[in-house]
A and B are shown apart, each in its own frame.
Chain A
Amino acid sequence: MKRLLAVTLGILTAIGGFVDIGDIVSTSESGSRFGVAHTWVLVVGIIGICVYAEMSGRVTAISTRPVFDLIRERLGPRIGLVNLLGSYLITLLTLAAEIGGVALALQLLSGASYLLWVPAAAIVLWLALWRVKFETLERVFGLSGLALVVLLVSIFWLHPDFADLKGQATTFSPPKGENWPTYFFMAIALFASAMTPYEVFFFSSGGVEERWTPRDLTISRINVFLGFPLGGLLAFGFLATSAIVFEPIGVDVSTLGQAVLPAGMAFGRIGLGLAILGVFAATFGAAMETGLSAGYTVAQYFGWSWGKFLRPRQAARFHVVVLVSILLAVAALLTTIDPIQLTEYMLIFSAVVLPLTYLPILVVANDRGYLGDKVNGPFANIMGVIYLIIVVAAAVAAVPVMIFTGMGG
């Protein structure tokens, strides 16, 4: 059992990358507009994040240094600061969106407006980050996020035409009535969020929180190769069910409520309840991931003491950053800005941050001074370089495509 629970860090990290509130809605939107045509993007994203999360987990297990330490060490304080600002903004926007997402899930359960739930969600989030043990948080939210499996099972209960779905998944172009720029915009958005940088920050810092040593290398790998594909699979549940329910009638999904409707159609109230519970756990988990990551990145850039394994008084600056980030997120939400829209702006900053995060990981994973004989093998290096190129290409293309399509309009 203990071994089984050791993979919850990977699951929780992956949830933040694949099924946080922005992804739930944009994956479902993609399903409703393009069918399951973007399945390949999920596959490419899963492999990419596995490659780099494995490297950063290995570096952390052997050297006990989290990823942001490497960024400043290899790229210097100036470029490190550029990355810090970009990553912090991404993390903060996502944090705000996730708190909004928790509130939206509560709205679907209660019927009361999500704005009323925002302050309560933020307070509970802060209390959890202040008081609850890291492992407990990871287990509770990593495991309850798995309730989203209900959407995967729904695929079979909705009796789709599997030949049709297979056709969509193997056609690498937009269906009739949709255009290429939008197809690419959604593909880039899905890919960028699969490889969003706070995942490696959180995963490697989580490894330090759990006091990984070189002996935990296997634990780290199991986390990566089980957690991330599982997260991607949950995202596929949203993609496929929206493709089955909404694509044929031509409805474009744009709200959380629509995204979970297929679970209700398949399994009734229990299915709907499970899906909403899963969304609640996933968004709350992603809120914890981004809230902590905000603190981790700032503290690791400046060298401050950080982490939940210390008493808060020993890491006062870290806890202040976390607290201030939550307050900023709440302030942003209370302007009644749409929380789901917030995550789309993340793409702008990803363009800068993604290459500056993954390059130092790749370089350090080849450093014998750090890793001894555990440096990258040829396969990890080939994959690392290929993905670095894809990441740069996606990053460069993101902003023009975004302006051109008016954010996927």
Chain B
Amino acid sequence: MPLLIAFDLLDRQILDRDGIPVGKVDDVELSPDSRYVAALLTGQRALGARFGGVLGRWITGTAARLDTDRTGPRRIEYALVAKVDSAVHLSVRRELLTPPALEAWLDEHVIGRIPGASDAG
């Protein structure tokens, strides 16, 4: 069955091997010759670029300020995709991927400091 990039990939939830959310497919990167799907792009930077306009620049700008270590959006190599159905399932656990900057920052400075943050609810 053919895979439709806009329908089957874009805006779908990416889940890791254990079903934990990793991000949305905010854009899809093509190989340099534009013939293959190379990677999934996720995060507000990729999302903002898709919006375009003032709102898009604002979203991208805020996301970029939070994440100064990286030059582009988070990339997930397409080779890591195990299955595409109502979500995009990866074959790895999310700890192996670079964590999103906002999540890491909030974990370190806010949530991680509140007692009980490491216990499941």
Contact = CB atoms under 8 A, between A and B. Distances in A.
B116 A131 contact: yes
Contact of B50 (A77, A299, A313): A77
Contacts of B24: 72, 301-303
B102 interface: yes
Contact of A65 (B87, B110, B114): B87
B42 A303 contact: yes
Contacts of B20: 305, 310, 314
B13 interface: yes
Interface stretch (A187-195, A240-248, A253-261, A315-323): A315-323
Interface residues of B, number: 35
Given A303-B42, A310-B120, A316 B110 contact: yes
Contacts of A310: 20, 120-121
Contact of B13 (A65, A77, A134, A311): A65
Contacts of A309: 120-121
A169 to B, nearest CB: 43
Given A77-B47, A316-B111, A311 B86 contact: no
A72 B111 contact: no
A312 B21 contact: no
Given A77-B11, A302-B44, A316-B111, A63 B21 contact: no
Contacts of B102: 317
A182 to B, nearest CB: 39
Interface string B1-40: 0000000000111100001111110100000000000000
A132 B121 contact: yes
Interface in A282-323: 299-306, 308-314, 316-317, 319-320
Contacts of B119: 131, 311-312
A302 B4 CA distance: 21
A304 B106 CA distance: 13
The interface centre, meaning the residue of B111, B114, B116, B119 with most chain A CB atoms within 10 A of its CB, is: B111
Nearest to B104: A316
Contact of B86 (A305, A312, A370): A370
A369 B94 CA distance: 26
A73 interface: yes
Interface in B100-121: 100, 102-103, 106-107, 110-112, 114, 116-121
B19 A320 contact: no
The interface centre, meaning the residue of A134, A303, A312 with most chain B CB atoms within 10 A of its CB, is: A303
A130 interface: yes
Interface string A130-143: 11111000000000
A253 B106 CA distance: 45
B51 A313 contact: no
Contacts of A80: 11
Contacts of A306: 21
A313 B21 contact: no
Given A131-B116, A311-B118, A312-B116, A78 B51 contact: yes
A64 interface: yes
A130 B116 contact: yes
A80 B12 CA distance: 13
B11 A64 contact: no
A69 interface: yes
Interface in A117-135: 130-134
B96 to A, nearest CB: 15
A73 B121 CA distance: 28
A377 interface: no
A21 to B, nearest CB: 25
A303 B44 CA distance: 10
A384 to B, nearest CB: 20
Interface of A: 63-65, 69, 72-73, 76-78, 80, 130-134, 299-306, 308-314, 316-317, 319-320, 369-370
Given A63-B87, A131-B121, 12 more contacts: A69-B12, A72-B11, A72-B24, A78-B51, A130-B121, A302-B23, A305-B22, A308-B121, A309-B121, A311-B117, A312-B119, A313-B111
